[in-house]
Amino acid sequence: MSLHDHAPSHAHEEGHGDGHATHHPNYVKIYLILLVLLVISILGPELEIRIVTLVTAFGVACIKAWMVAKNFMHITMAPRYVLYLVATTLVFMLLFFAGTAPDVMKFSGTRWEKTPVAHVQAAPHGDAAHH
């Protein structure tokens, strides 16, 4: 079929159909920054202050995530809608959390209550037994 004879020449465009090559930052430098951040997140809990641990763990994780997305995945160089797409899915997850957490984090209501997770090693009721 003549239709498909064009395909190989078109296939050439596949690599960079948007017409410009990716700008490559100094990846090793970014990698080193990421390692420093990793060390910070390990050292954070040593201070044994809850708020510091949370910031060094999750704040640093967010920074690391953005650095990987921006520099390794080149999300800012892709068309803008990619960023919106990813942001939208994150917002949906926040929505899910906001709608679900009030129920799941509630332990009792009218004529019902939930057993907190006991700090034990084995299942108390032998429910694990059936397969």
Partner 1 sequence: MSASARPIATTRSTAGMPTGRLAVWWVIASEIVIFGGLLGSYIMFRLSHDSFAAEAANTNMYVGAFNTWVLLTSSLFAVLGHKAAEEGNGPKAAKMLYLTFGGGLIFLLVKTWEWSEKISHGHTLSSSTFFSFYYTAAGLHALHVIAGMVIMAIVAQTAKRNLELHRVELIGIYWHFVDLVWIFLFPLLYIAK
Partner 2 sequence: MATAPVHHETHDDHGHARAGFIRHYFFSTDHKMIAMQYMFTGMAMALIGGFFAYAFRMQLAFPGMDVPGFGVVSANEYNHLITNHGAIMIFWVAMPVLIAAFGNYLIPLMIGCDDMVFPKLNRLSYQIFLLSALILIASFFVPGGGFAGAWTMYPPLSTKPEFGLTPLGATLFVVAVGVEFVAFLLGGINFVTTAMNSRAPGMRMYDIPMVVWMIVIASILFMGSVGPLVAGAVMLIFDQNFGTAFFDPTRGGDPVLWQHLFWFFGHPEVYVVLLPAVGIVAEIITVFSRKKLFAYRTVLYTAFGTGVLSFMVWAHHQFIAGIDPRMANIFTITTLLISIPVAEMLFVYIATLFGGSITFTTPMLWALSFIATFLIGGVTGIFLGASGADIYLHDTYFVLAHFHYTFFPIAIIGTFAGITFWFPKMFGRMMNERLGKIHFWGTVIAFNCIFIPLFVVGVAGEHRRIYDFTNFPELARPALRNLDEFATISLLVMLAFQPIFLFNLFYSMFRGPKAPKNPWNSNTLEWSADSPPPHGNWPELPRVYRGPYEYSVPGREQDYWPQNAPN
Task: Name the residues that contact partner 2, by CB under 8 A.
Answer: 1-4, 8-9, 11-12, 14-15, 88-89, 92, 95-96, 99-100, 102-104, 106, 109-110, 112, 114-118, 123-125, 127-131
> Which helix (H) or strand (E) segment is 93 a member of?
helix 80-104
- Min dist CB 86 to partner 1, Å, is 6
DSSP secondary structure letter of residue 56: I
Q: How many residues bind partner 1 (CB under 8 A)?
A: 66
Got the DSSP string for 6-35? THHHHHGGGGGTTSSPPP---HHHHHHHHH
DSSP secondary structure letter of residue 75: T
Helices 27-43 and 60-67 cross at an angle (nearest 10°) of 170
The set of residues, in sequence order, having a beta carbon less than 8 Å from that of 112 and lying 6+ positions away, is none
Which stretches of the chain bind partner 1, using CB under 8 A? Answer: 3-4, 6-8, 10-11, 13-18, 21-22, 24, 27-28, 31, 34-35, 38, 41-42, 44-45, 53-54, 57-58, 60-61, 64-65, 68-69, 71-73, 78-79, 81-82, 85-86, 88-90, 92-93, 96-97, 100-101, 104-105, 107, 116-123, 128
